A = this chain, B = another copy of it.
Amino acid sequence: MSEKTEHKSEHRSEYRPPREPREERPRGNIPPDTVFIGKKPLMAYATAVMMHFNAGAKHLTVKARGKSISHAVDVVEVVRRRFFQGKLNIKEVKIASETLGEEGETRNVSTIEIILDRMD
C-alpha cells in the first residue's frame, strides 16, 4: 500500500527532462546566402554577415519580418559603415507581406529583404 502511494506521488511531481540545447531555426528552408534577422543582439548578426563575406562570398540577402525589420536595417548599416567603410553595396531593398497562421485565423506580417553585394 505504501509503495503504491509513493509511486503515485512521484508521478504527481512535475518532473521535466533536462532541456536539449535549443535548436536554431532549421536551415532547411533558408537558402545558403541568407541571414535571417531575429531577436539576438545586433553584433551577433553583424558578425555573421562579416564572416559570410570574409569567407569569400560576394552576395548576401538579409531578411526580417515584423518588428525585426528595424533591427535588420541597423545590422546592415552597422556592417556597412563600421566594418566595410562603404565597400558593401546595397543592391536592392524589397518590402512585402507574408500571411501567417492557419485558415480562418490568418494574419499578415511585413517583410524586408536587403540584398548586399561586396565591391572589390
Where the two chains meet, the residues of A that have a C-beta atom closer than 8 Å to any C-beta of B are 66-70, 73-74, 76-77, 81, 90, 93-97, 108, 110, 112, 114
Contact between chains at A73 and B114 (CB < 8 Å): no
Most chain B Cβ neighbours within 10 Å, of A76, A77, A81? A77
Contact between chains at B76 and A70 (CB < 8 Å): no
Contact between chains at B93 and A77 (CB < 8 Å): no
Q: A69-B69, A69-B70, A110-B70 are in contact. Are A76 and B90 (CB under 8 A)?
A: no
Chain B residues with CB under 8 Å of A73's CB are: 69, 95, 110, 112
Smallest beta-carbon distance A76→chain B, Å: 7
Chain B residues with CB under 8 Å of A97's CB are: 77, 81
